[in-house]
Amino acid sequence: MLEETEAFMPNSGNTQTKPANRPANELRFGSIKVVVWRNESRNGPMFNVTVSRLYRDGESWKESHSFGHDDLPVLALALQDAYFWIHNQDTA
């Protein structure tokens, strides 16, 4: 379900709301995070995937888009789960 952001005023003077861009799904495997995004197109929904590795820097958590040797098997499993999740959306 999409949440709505604050209303904005276009040039016509009408008040409209714009939906917030929220992930369709988020998968976590330890420090590996895979986020699935759904975008509507003329041909139906399209799905895109972003991947990151979470790490702690002092007191704060950060994300990196660089993966080490030991991250690769976990990343492969996470991407496979994302693939199957997207496939199930297309067939549902």
Contacting residues for 7 by C-beta, under 8 A, at least 6 apart: 15, 16, 17
Parent domain of 84: 25-91
C-alpha pair distances (Å), 54 with each of 12, 57, 71: 44, 10, 11
Higher pLDDT, 45 or 1: 45
Statement: the pTM of the whole predicted model exceeds 0.85: no
* Number of structural domains the chain divides into: 1
Q: What is the pLDDT of residues 17-74, one digit of tens each?
A: 556 689 999 999 999 999 999 999 999 999 999 999 999 999 999 999 999 999 999 9
Per the domain annotation, does 83 fall within a domain? yes
- On whether residue 7 sits in a domain, the answer given is no
The answer on pLDDT for 5 being more than 60 is no
For residue 12, pLDDT beyond 50: no
78 domain-assigned? yes
Higher-pLDDT residue of 7, 82: 82
